[in-house]
């Protein structure tokens, strides 16, 4: 791949995401390296790609009155070009419209022909003159919400049915915001304040997190390039995700099973909470992802983690019954709680995907259930806010496994700040992205009955 300017590289990335359902986060990192973009261009490239994918439905609403009725299939690449140009015109202050339109016309000419360049020029100048269509002209509440906050209609309808219109609006609004960078302090080596002080000496400004007692939030500077990171004093993790190991509450010398463990954020947290005692058996379906767990353990200097490749649905065949004190199932899910970080998720997933993933989630729980000791704790977590993958999965599991019960002590293991979202006796919690600017997360605690 030859080096391209920032907007041409952004258009390439958008076309790949559109046509190949490529993961935006992986593709963005790859494109930055291949095009050797510098610091300033990296910021603009990332903003254009993520912003255009994130606001796709809104941008199409802005664009639709100005598009010709028919565009030849071979010329449909012009639409992502127009979307990213409108995104810059509407949402970025620093770039003048004339520069955006000029770049769009040059790209249309280079990739297509003069006719397409004239069309791009005409559409963008028309939008500039006429102004943007008003969202209030959309009569239907769900459709208006979906267009204004750029989410698929079926997903907004689903959330409105589950949580109501106001909560859905808050979720959609939060999904459009840039998430803060947070890191988990390695409690086996240091404290939150000590790590904040060490980072300051390296020119990185951080403060305690909003939710988790283990968290810091990076306000300024490149955390990844610090000795604090390199030497394993802290690791990047979202604050909601940090609550999972705390909910599991591992005790010294426990033997813990962590299913679906890659890239290892929760695995290493469990290991830290064990204070060098006990053992964490961590596995993941994909062998290359197991390497990520091992690398994290090595960087954080944690010796009690044993990682391997294994399908969690086959766990029962590989370990003796009742051989673990605690088990974490951080289940594969639709990922609707992390749309801020991976905006392509909302366009690539469908209702059918949600139905299919619930079967896998239940199969995993069925497979690991015999491995837990009597009186042991099972934590089930997902990074989604979809009830069919959360509350309904837990209900189905408990209906089938009468030797398990809801563990009402979950509240005791969560931070005070979030306890108000738990009703008395509740054994699960749904964290929404608008609560603390953290990922949307579900955590349920179950216990195997003592006898």
d(C-alpha 441, C-alpha 144), whole Å: 26
d(C-alpha 388, C-alpha 391), whole Å: 7
Q: What Rg, from alpha-carbon coordinates, does the chain have? A: 24
d(C-alpha 156, C-alpha 351), whole Å: 12
Phi, psi of 206 (to 5 degrees): -135, 165
Q: Are 422 and 414 in contact (CB under 8 A)?
A: yes
Q: Residue 260 has which token pair?
A: 């679906």
d(C-alpha 98, C-alpha 95), whole Å: 9
Please state, as a whole number, how many other Cβ atoms lie within 10 Å of the Cβ of residue 231: 15
The C-alpha angle with vertex 246 and arms to 375 and 178, in degrees rounded to 5, equals 140
- Of 362, 417, 364, 421, nearest to 390 by C-alpha is 362
Owner of token pair 């058996």: 281
Is residue 172 annotated as part of the catalytic site, yes or no? Answer: no
Q: Residue 320 has which token pair?
A: 């003796």
Owner of token pair 């459009």: 176
Q: Residue 75 has which token pair?
A: 């010329």
- Residue ranges of the binding site for S-adenosyl-L-methionine: 260-266, 284, 311, 330
Residues whose CB falls within 8 Å of the CB of residue 328, separated by 6 or more in sequence, listed in order: 244, 245, 248, 256, 257, 258, 259, 266, 270, 378, 379, 381
Q: Are 251 and 276 in contact (CB under 8 A)?
A: no
- Of 266, 204, 205, nearest to 235 by C-alpha is 266
Buried b (16+ CB within 10 A) or exposed e, 103-126: bbbebbbebbeeebbebbbebbee
The β-bridge relationship of strands 255-259 and 279-284 is parallel
Q: Bridge partners of 255?
A: 279
Buried b (16+ CB within 10 A) or exposed e, 329-366: bbbbbbbbbbbbbbbbbbbebeeeebeebbebbbebbe
- Of 357, 408, 359, nearest to 383 by C-alpha is 357
Kind and range of the H or E run holding 444: strand 441-448
Sign of the dihedral defined by the CA atoms of residues 94, 97, 99, 104, in that order: positive
Active site residues: 383
């Amino acid at each position: 791949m030859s080096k391209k300017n920032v907007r041409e590289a952004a258009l390439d990335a958008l076309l790949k995401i559109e046509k190949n359902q490529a993961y935006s986060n992986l593709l963005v990192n790859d494109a930055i390296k291949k095009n050797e973009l510098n610091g300033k261009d990296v910021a603009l490239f990332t903003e254009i790609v993520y912003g255009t994918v994130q606001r796709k439905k809104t941008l199409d609403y802005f664009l639709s009155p100005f598009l010709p009725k028919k565009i030849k299939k071979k010329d449909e690449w012009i639409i992502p070009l127009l979307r990213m140009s409108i995104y810059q015109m509407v949402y970025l202050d620093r770039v003048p419209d004339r520069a955006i339109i000029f770049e769009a016309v040059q790209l249309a000419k280079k990739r297509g022909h003069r006719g397409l360049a004239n069309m791009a020029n005409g559409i963008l100048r028309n939008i500039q003159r006429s102004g943007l269509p008003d969202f209030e002209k959309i009569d239907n509440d769900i459709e208006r919400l979906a267009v204004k906050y750029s989410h698929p209609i079926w997903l907004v309808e689903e959330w409105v049915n589950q949580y109501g219109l106001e909560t859905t609006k808050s979720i959609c609004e939060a999904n459009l915001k840039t998430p803060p960078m947070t890191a988990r302090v390695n409690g086996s080596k240091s404290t939150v304040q000590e790590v904040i002080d060490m980072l300051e000496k390296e020119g990185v400004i951080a403060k305690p997190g909003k939710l988790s007692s283990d968290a810091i939030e990076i306000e300024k500077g490149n955390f990844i390039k610090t000795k604090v990171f390199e030497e394993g004093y802290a690791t990047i993790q979202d604050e909601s995700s940090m609550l999972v190991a705390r909910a599991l509450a591992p005790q010294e010398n426990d033997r813990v099973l962590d299913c679906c463990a890659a890239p290892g954020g929760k695995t290493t947290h469990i290991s830290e909470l064990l204070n060098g005692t006990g053992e964490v058996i961590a596995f993941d379906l994909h062998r290359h992802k197991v390497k990520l767990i091992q690398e994290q353990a090595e960087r954080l200097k944690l010796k009690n983690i044993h990682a391997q490749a294994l399908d969690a649905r086959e766990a029962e065949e590989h370990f003796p019954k009742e051989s673990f004190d605690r088990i974490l199932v951080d289940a594969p899910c639709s990922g609707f709680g992390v749309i801020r970080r991976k905006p392509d998720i909302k366009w690539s997933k469908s209702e059918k995907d949600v139905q299919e993933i619930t079967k896998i989630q239940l199969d995993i729980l069925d497979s690991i259930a015999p491995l837990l000791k009597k009186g042991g704790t099972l934590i089930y977590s997902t990074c989604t806010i979809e009830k069919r993958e959360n509350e309904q999965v837990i209900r189905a599991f408990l209906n089938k496994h009468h030797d398990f019960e809801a563990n009402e002590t979950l509240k005791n293991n969560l931070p005070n700040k979030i306890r108000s979202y738990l009703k008395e006796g509740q054994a699960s919690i749904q964290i929404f992205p608008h609560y603390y600017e953290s990922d949307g997360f579900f955590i349920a605690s179950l216990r195997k009955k003592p006898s």
